[in-house]
Chain A
């Protein structure tokens, strides 16, 4: 931090940076304002303030159902991602076996293949299995899309973890399973949490997978936004957008709080590493 603070950026760079930030942020206050508009159509600036669009959004059983579907999919795929990424990362980092690079390539493939191709492929598979239109299908789809990044995050966390810790626990009488539970898992927790968070946020606003795999009763928020925008643009959308932004910010703040709590604890462990070097 002190290093960053000591570098004084060129004033021109500063201006440019603020411009970029303004450009990125500007739509957000505008959308927030519009969402409270008293007008019956999209107009800016709004002629007056009202909560009518929020009433229409949250009063509509269809929109509420979509919130519910989106939350289910996001939570389930976050959990599934955490479990699978952990299970993949441990042998890939710890175990010694040949053909590792092939497995790496397969694990990371969804990152390179365009989502739409993955979506189409899965559509055919799930259609055959009669699973299209279910929360399960969308959950699996999102998990596959987000798994490579979660795997990379967890692998790097695990790489920084001394395998001797687990050995030490075993030498002290723990079975390998207990050693994993008591030592490796808690130390891996920040990485697992980051992966889960990432999965949650990605799933929450991802459109293509649920567009292909969802059905009329399983429209996620993103899909319903898409559908309603395609039909007509009305200010309800802005209320939905504010809801999405709010959820994202909330989750990010939560994550920051949790990771700060972890950091306080593990700052001691990084200090320990330093003293060994």
Chain B
């Protein structure tokens, strides 16, 4: 916590296997001190396993873990001085709120007066000052969550690890606690590693997001990086919705814009430097990046300008989601796309099924990705 420069946590090629099953396969990661880092991934992708290795409850098969530059790979968990918040909070049911929060300080041999003072301060921070004498069972889910947080922070750890800490709460409470948590993290300047499978949660809180899949890191960056510049189909699909259109790169412009041809012959202009001519690729096109316009006749189609027909319209409350079909009535020659528009459309227009539309997009909003095995 001294200097915010430098890395607080470094994971170097971590491996963990259960029998022949690889739960974590070569995870390397550096997290800057004072940052809020979210590990995001589908169920079974190895998030908890990585966190448990960080906490010291699970021993890696291979690789090293550094915290503040010290190798802690072989250090037992009670010596790592990390705050851990478990998914179900793991509050001690036979101790009061105060007893729970005092526990880590007692373990550190602090004197009673100091313990009392620190606990009171910490409970005030999480706004539970009046609840010190209650048992965990007498608290609401959100209050229990805050007790768990207070208990994990009261001994001023350098790093706080959290495994889906808001998973058991309802949506409204979760949103409120996300803001509180982020605020608390900034105030206490603690490095947070936060595991979740809720991408919205990751976007709201994280400075850095790690996307995991099948025990490996798919991509690491800011939430914007991952959303706007995904490097794999998986990331594009996991961070929000996207249309994935397959094709082959046919040309590469000097400005970095690629020309991608769909099997139906339609062309897409899209961004990405990593692909070259001849590659089989997928183009990721976010639904909200598509523009729709009503059309009467059938103007000739061009790159990034296609003719389509609305086949489905669903209200999302503040927006509309349209399903659009481009091309002839044969599935093999069809492209199906999702578009998300403001409730009343781009030009104050709302579309209905069977409407004929012209759809277009900016080449900068379309992203060329290597074709994954699906």
Q: How many chain B residues have a CB neighbour from A under 8 Å?
A: 34
Q: Which of A176, A178, A269 has the most chain B CB within a 10 Å cutoff?
A: A269
Q: Which of A85-93, A114-122, A164-172 contacts B (4 or more CB under 8 A)?
A: A164-172
Q: How far is the CA of A275 from the CA of B136 in the complex (A)?
A: 11
Partner of A272, one of B55, B93, B151, B152: B93
State whether the Cβ of A2 lies closer than 8 Å to any Cβ in chain B. no
Pair A172/B151 contact, Cβ less than 8 Å: yes
State whether the Cβ of A267 lies closer than 8 Å to any Cβ in chain B. yes
State whether the Cβ of A4 lies closer than 8 Å to any Cβ in chain B. no
Q: How far is the CA of A159 from the CA of B37 in the complex (A)?
A: 34
Partner of B137, one of A162, A167, A175, A272: A272
In the complex, the chain B residue whose C-beta lies closest to that of A164 is B90
Q: How far is the CA of A172 from the CA of B149 in the complex (A)?
A: 12
Interface Cβ pair total, 8 Å cutoff = 89
Contact flags (1/0) for A123-153 with B, using CB distance below 8 Å?
0000000000000000000000000000000
State whether the Cβ of A270 lies closer than 8 Å to any Cβ in chain B. yes
> What chain B residues lie within 8 Å of A169 (beta carbons)?
92, 103
CB distance from A241 to the nearest CB of B (A): 41
> What chain A residues lie within 8 Å of B138 (beta carbons)?
268, 271
Contact flags (1/0) for B76-116 with A, using CB distance below 8 Å?
01101111101110111110000000011001100000000
Pair B78/A272 contact, Cβ less than 8 Å: no
Chain B residues 58 to 91 lying within 8 A of chain A, measured CB to CB, are: 77-78, 80-84, 86-88, 90-91
Q: How far is the CA of A167 from the CA of B85 in the complex (A)?
A: 11
> What chain A residues lie within 8 Å of B86 (beta carbons)?
164, 167-168
Partner of A171, one of B78, B87, B108, B139: B78
Contact flags (1/0) for A173-189 with B, using CB distance below 8 Å?
11110100011001100
> What chain B residues lie within 8 Å of A167 (beta carbons)?
57, 77, 84, 86, 90
In the complex, the chain A residue whose C-beta lies closest to that of B77 is A170
State whether the Cβ of B140 lies closer than 8 Å to any Cβ in chain A. yes
Pair A165/B78 contact, Cβ less than 8 Å: no
> What chain A residues lie within 8 Å of B81 (beta carbons)?
173
Q: How far is the CA of A51 from the CA of B89 in the complex (A)?
A: 62
> What chain A residues lie within 8 Å of B94 (beta carbons)?
186-187, 265-266, 269
Q: How far is the CA of A272 from the CA of B89 in the complex (A)?
A: 10
CB distance from B53 to the nearest CB of A (A): 13
Pair B77/A275 contact, Cβ less than 8 Å: no
Q: Which of B81, B86, B107, B151 has the most chain A CB within a 10 Å cutoff?
A: B107
State whether the Cβ of A8 lies closer than 8 Å to any Cβ in chain B. no
Contact flags (1/0) for A253-272 with B, using CB distance below 8 Å?
00000000000011111111
> What chain A residues lie within 8 Å of B55 (beta carbons)?
171
A173-B90 contact in complex given A268-B136, A271-B138, A272-B136, C-beta closer than 8 Å? no
> What chain A residues lie within 8 Å of B139 (beta carbons)?
272
Q: How far is the CA of A154 from the CA of B90 in the complex (A)?
A: 21
State whether the Cβ of A99 lies closer than 8 Å to any Cβ in chain B. no
> What chain A residues lie within 8 Å of B57 (beta carbons)?
167, 170-171
Pair A276/B168 contact, Cβ less than 8 Å: yes
Q: How far is the CA of A169 from the CA of B135 in the complex (A)?
A: 17
> What chain B residues lie within 8 Å of A187 (beta carbons)?
93-94
Partner of A173, one of B107, B135, B137: B107
> What chain B residues lie within 8 Å of A168 (beta carbons)?
84, 86, 90-92
Q: How far is the CA of A173 from the CA of B155 in the complex (A)?
A: 10
> What chain A residues lie within 8 Å of B151 (beta carbons)?
172
Pair B104/A172 contact, Cβ less than 8 Å: yes
Pair B107/A172 contact, Cβ less than 8 Å: yes
> What chain B residues lie within 8 Å of A165 (beta carbons)?
90, 92
State whether the Cβ of B144 lies closer than 8 Å to any Cβ in chain A. yes
Q: How far is the CA of A269 from the CA of B90 in the complex (A)?
A: 11
State whether the Cβ of B141 lies closer than 8 Å to any Cβ in chain A. yes
Q: How far is the CA of A255 from the CA of B213 in the complex (A)?
A: 53
Pair A275/B82 contact, Cβ less than 8 Å: no
CB distance from A193 to the nearest CB of B (A): 14
Partner of B90, one of A162, A182, A186, A270: A162
16 contacts between A and B (CB under 8 A): A168-B86, A168-B90, A170-B57, A171-B57, A171-B152, A172-B103, A175-B78, A178-B107, A187-B93, A272-B93, A272-B137, A272-B139, A272-B144, A275-B141, A275-B144, A276-B88
Task: Rank and list the top 3 A-B pairs by shortest CB-CB distance, nearest first.
Answer: A268-B137, A269-B93, A173-B107
Interface residues of A (CB under 8 A from B): 162, 164-165, 167-176, 178, 182-183, 186-187, 265-272, 275-276
